[in-house]
Amino acid sequence: MSADILRDHNAAGKDEGVWVVRPHRGTIFGYLGETWRYRRLFPLLIKYSLSNVYKSSVLGIGWLFIRPIMSALMATLFLKTVLGVSTGPVPYLLFILLSMSFWSMFQRSLTWGTKSIQRNGRLSRHFYFPKIIAHVTAIAPVFIEFGIILFSAVLAGIYFYVTGHFRPDFGLHILAAPLAIVMLLLFVIGLTCVTSPLNSAARDVWYVMRYLMGPLIFITPVYYPRTALPEPWKEYMLFNPLTPILELYRWALFHSEPMRWDALALSGAVILVMLLLGLLFFIKWEPKVLDRA
Amino acid sequence: MGWVEIRNVSKMYRRRGTSWFAKIEEMDDDDDDDEVGESPERKEDTHPTGQKEIWALRDINLRINAGDAVAVVGLGGSGKTTLVSILAGITLPTTGEVRGKGAVLPLNFLRTPFFGDATGRQNLAMLESLLGMAKGRILDRAQEIASFAGMERQLDQKVGQYSTSMYAKLSLAAGLFCDPGILLVDDGISGGDPPFRARVAAKLKEVVNQGATLIYATQTVSDLASLCHRVVWLSEGRIIADESANALLPKYEAVCGWQKEDQSSREGEKEELTKEDIQEDNQLGAVHVSRDTFGQAPPSEGKFRLVLQSTWHRKVNNLEKRLQRFVERCRTNSAELTREPATFFRAELGTLARLSDVRVVHSGSRPVFLTNANEPVQVEIEVEVLEPNIEIGLRVELDAMGTLLFASDLPWPFCARSPGRYVLLFSLQEWLTRQQIDTVVDYKIVARTFFRKPANGWEDMDVGTAHICDSGKERVLLTAVANGASLTERIPTWLEEVTPKPSDAERTPLLRPRLDWQIHRIEEVASEESQLSAGSGAREELQEQIV
């Protein structure tokens, strides 16, 4: 048997494979194969993490609406009206709402992902299953907030369309938006595969990350288009792997700024490496984390 | 249908002891260890980085054939749960490997529901997926499962509306009806009413008869004999016996049968060994541990001392007589059994003051129990004040069977005008009477002190804690002198079983409202001219009380 742990997954009475429990979780391929066998858990655990997050919050959903819209309005007021940041033909409010939908997805999924092991402790302590499933599904709640901000952006878009301020160019390129989101999520999964086990060992990891978010939003062109920056900085910013993805996302929806495909390819490579390293790290740490859970 | 083979499995947990308090506790542990003498393999080894290594399992080799029903017995902390978790794949071993065939079903882990908002049926679907089973293996039989648990009507109700035991019943039934290859039961089967448990026992037998393998970990032996034909006895993570149920269960019961021991100690300890006891003792002699505790590193002078925390008095019948017999069997030159007062843990609190000693003064005959009848029990707390004019607060906590029963604070901090030793007396008896508690068994008293300089306010409050770590202020010391080699005689199992209780940090305290503290006497030992006052404006009232 190539995989290290094979639990019975056959129909009743037809027990076949011999399973082995060893001090480690085995190779990455074995682990992914095992994950595939447990694929039915994905929808169930997504439901589980959603029901856990918004179980007893009455104000919860309302708050999710208020927070991004307030900060979008504040950003519009200060950055557009006072400082005069230019976003080309795109109305600033629409620009910031879409950028924020992207950023909130990054930030929130990093939060949920980093806390995944902590939150799924009970399941992990009681059942054998590849814990990567619980880890990946733990970030499901971000889609709710993402959807809410996107919905506000769509409302704003309709308003600007009707009033004639902005006519978006709808074409096939709009399909790049989901691609950008997928890239973002893969990046976050790779990153949190490292931070989540670390956070279960030392809770300060999460606090450090929360503080890192502050500077990070400024070196990612969320509040302004990258083209608004002076010359050398415009290029430097592309080294942030989030920048090309965010630009791809906006390019798909506005089609206003030119796309830097070379930077996107680099970013894609970074994401793949991150994902691979993250998975290896996660698999290596899983047993240690379970001992502590 | 399913078999398991365990090869050289060991499991080590790392525990980090970084806090100040944990360090002090470790120092305390070390003191004890010196007296015990170094055994070549101890359960805990301190890692160079300060981490403690705890070996929950050591070199387990076991082959369980298809259709076997095996009981794994052992006291708490002997490694049963770790073994079950490793078999279930939930915990991974540190070394060695486990091979097996057949669907593994850890029955006890199914007990808690996952979706409070979902119905029983939906939770069963979740269970099916979590166990990695084929679709429908549980769900197809949902109706049958519900009727077994007597819950046909509640199956499609939300689990959040169930009572605690209802879901346990449902999941237990699900586990029994999904044709498991290897059934794992940890800590016996609990949950549900007696008729349900009887049904479970019957069904379990049926499942085993149909060819499933059963591994049943438990501390108590009731109804094991009828279910399991083979018994594996774990102690400190090692297999110390692996025999047929008929041969081993009586021995296990004799050594570790809690209920029996409790009853006998309530009726009063037997003073003389009866014939049965001797027989039982001989049986015990047959059970040996697999390692020589003193064999590899005999003490230089051929002398060793063995210290038993006396909470174990009541758990081992006639401890002293058994010890003496053990010494005789060791062919020692001389053996001496003494009781001496336990030395208490002292907490140093910088340069302000220190909690010197805490004693429980019993006048009763049976120090294992705290009773409020005719046995004045007092806690003497000795505080050494190093710097005058600091305010000292005190709290006494009574902890029984691992739960904080109640706590009481000194109503006002007292303030000593000059350095010296001060003794505070606290009557536990009155306390118990007021709480309407008749008897406390297996208790521990913790005294905590709080110091502050009045000028600084309570912000830089320092906390010191003293434990009275055993029930009876005494511990049994066994001193034996032998010719080195003869001590390689194996130590009997019931001595091996003396394991430390879980540390305080692992327990969650249950705080009760503060009770009034009765100060009977505050005595100043060192200097006679020194004065005493109460802090925080309560001086006069306190002095009245002192009188």
What is the per-residue pLDDT for A187? 94
Would you state the pLDDT for residue A270? 93
Q: How far is CA B106 from CA A125, B81, B86, B89, B166, in A?
A: 11, 11, 11, 10, 18
Residues B145 and B16 grouped into a single domain: yes
Rounded to a whole number, what is the distance in angstroms from the first to the last CA of chain B?
A: 78
Same domain as B148, residue B38: yes
Domain enclosing residue B66, as ranges: 3-254
**A8/B14 CB distance under 8 A:** no
- Indicate the pairing of strand B69-73 with strand B230-235: parallel
Domain annotation covers residue B285 = no
Contact between A48 and B98 using a beta-carbon 8 Å cutoff: no
Does residue B289 belong to any structural domain of this protein? no
Tell whether B328 and B463 lie within a shared domain: yes
For chain B of 547 residues, list the mean pLDDT of each consecutive stretch of 10: 86 64 42 33 43 79 88 81 87 88 81 74 85 82 86 82 80 84 80 77 84 84 73 81 78 53 34 31 24 31 37 43 55 46 32 58 48 62 69 70 66 67 73 67 65 46 38 37 35 36 34 36 42 41 42
Prediction ipTM score: 0.77
Chain A hits for B116, CB-CB cut-off 8 Å, are 51, 55
Name the token pair of B32: 């004890």
Whether residue A259 lies within 8 A of chain B, CB to CB, comes out as no
Same domain? For B250 and B318 the reply is: no
Q: How high is the pLDDT of residue B42?
A: 35
H/E segment holding residue B259: helix B258-266
Q: DSSP letter for B297, please.
A: S
d(CA B1, CA B212): 6
* Interface contact flag, A12 B130, Cβ < 8 Å: no
- Reading the block at residue A205, the tokens are 């990891």
φ, ψ for residue B486, nearest 5 deg: -65, -15
Total domains in chain B come to 2
Q: Is residue B55, in this structure, part of any structural domain at all? A: yes
Nearest-Å Rg of the Cα atoms of chain B is: 27
Residues of B with CB under 8 A from a CB of A: 1-2, 13-14, 86-104, 106, 109-110, 112, 114-118, 125-126, 129-135, 137, 178-179, 181
Measured between beta carbons, which residues in chain B are less than 8 angstroms from residue A24?
Answer: 92
Residues B249 and B379 in one domain: no
Contact state of B89 with A44 under an 8 Å Cβ cutoff? no
User: Which chain A residue's Cα is nearest to B103?
Assistant: A8
Q: Which of B97, B115, B117 sits opposite A22 (nearest CB)?
A: B97
* Banded model confidence at residue A106, pLDDT cuts 50, 70, 90: very high
Beta bridge partners of B478: B306, B337
What would the pLDDT profile of A174-193 be if each residue is shown by its tens digit?
Answer: 888 899 999 999 999 999 99
Report the alpha-carbon distance of residue B350 to residue B464 in Å, rounded: 10
Does B426 fall in a domain?
yes
CATH of the domain at B23: 3.40.50.300
Q: What is the pTM of this model?
A: 0.60
Distance CA B192, CA B170 (A): 10
Give the single-character DSSP code of B455: G
Phi, psi of B530 (to 5 degrees): -65, 155
Nearest CB to A21 within list B14, B86, B109? B86
What's residue A281's pLDDT?
92
What pLDDT is attached to residue B478?
41
Same domain for B311 and B248: no
> b/e per residue, B258-286, with b = 16+ CB within 10 A?
eeebeeebeeeeeeeeeeebeebbeebee
A16-35 burial code (b ≥16 CB/10 A, e <16): eeebbbbeebbeeebbeebb
Which residue in A13, A25, A126 is closest to B109 by CB distance? A126
pLDDT tens-place string over residues A206-251: 888 888 888 888 888 888 888 777 888 888 888 888 999 998 998 8
Q: Write out the two tokens for B234.
A: 């774990």
> What type of residue sits at position B357?
D
User: Looking at the domain assignment, is residue B286 inside a domain?
Assistant: no
Residues A226 and A87: their CA atoms lie apart, in Å, by 10
Based on the domain organization, do B483 and B371 belong to the same domain?
yes
Is the domain of B198 the same as that of B77? Answer: yes
**Residue % of chain A over a pLDDT of 70:** 90
How would you class B252 by CB atoms within 10 Å of its CB: exposed for 0-12, middle for 13-18, buried for 19 or more?
Answer: buried
Chain B contact for A182, CB < 8 A?
no
Chain segment A276-289, per-residue pLDDT in tens: 999 999 998 888 77
Provide the pairing of β-strand B182-186 with B104-106. Answer: parallel
What mean pLDDT is predicted for residues A59-78?
A: 76
Whole-number pLDDT of residue A276 = 94
Q: Do A12 and B134 touch (CB under 8 A)?
A: yes
- Under DSSP, is residue A119 helix (H, G, I), strand (E, B) or coil? helix
Q: Does A20 touch chain B (CB under 8 A)?
A: yes
Beta bridge partners of residue B449, listed in sequence order: B394, B464
Q: Is the pLDDT of residue A66 over 70?
A: yes
- Return the half-sphere exposure (C-beta side, CA atoms, 13 A cut-off) of residue A226: 27
Q: How far apart are CA A187 and CA B134, in angstroms?
A: 32
Residue B217 belongs to a domain? yes
**A32 vs B484, residue with greater confidence:** A32
Tell whether B544 is covered by a domain. Answer: yes
Nearest to A226 by CA among A250, A202, A203: A250
**B481 phi and psi, to 5 degrees?**
-115, 130
Per-residue pLDDT at A95 exceeds 80: yes
Does residue B141 contact residue B161 with C-beta atoms inside 8 Å? Answer: no
Supply the pLDDT for residue A145. 83
pLDDT, one tens digit per residue, over A72-93 is: 888 888 877 777 777 777 888 8
Instruction: Give backbone dihedrals phi and psi of B233, rounded to 5 degrees, phi first.
Output: -105, 120
- Closest Cα in chain B, distance from residue A49 (Å): 10
Report the pLDDT averaged over residues A35-40.
88
- Chain B closest CA to A120's CA: distance in Å? 11
Q: Are residues B242 and B314 in the same domain?
A: no
pLDDT band of residue A148 (cuts 50, 70, 90) is confident
From B377, B75, B468, select the one nearest B235 (Cα to Cα).
B75
Give the C-alpha separation, B391 to B539, whole Å: 11
Same domain as B221, residue B314: no
> Do B144 and B17 belong to one domain?
yes
Check A11 against B137: CB less than 8 A apart: yes
Residue pairs spanning A and B at CB distance below 8 A = 112
Cβ-contact B385, B353 below 8 angstroms:
yes
Distance in angstroms (rounded) separating the CA atoms of residues A155 and A98: 11
CA-angle at A266, arms to A261 and A268, nearest 5°: 90
pLDDT of residue A182: 94
Say if residue B181 is in the same domain as residue B314: no
| Cβ pair A10:B131 closer than 8 A | no
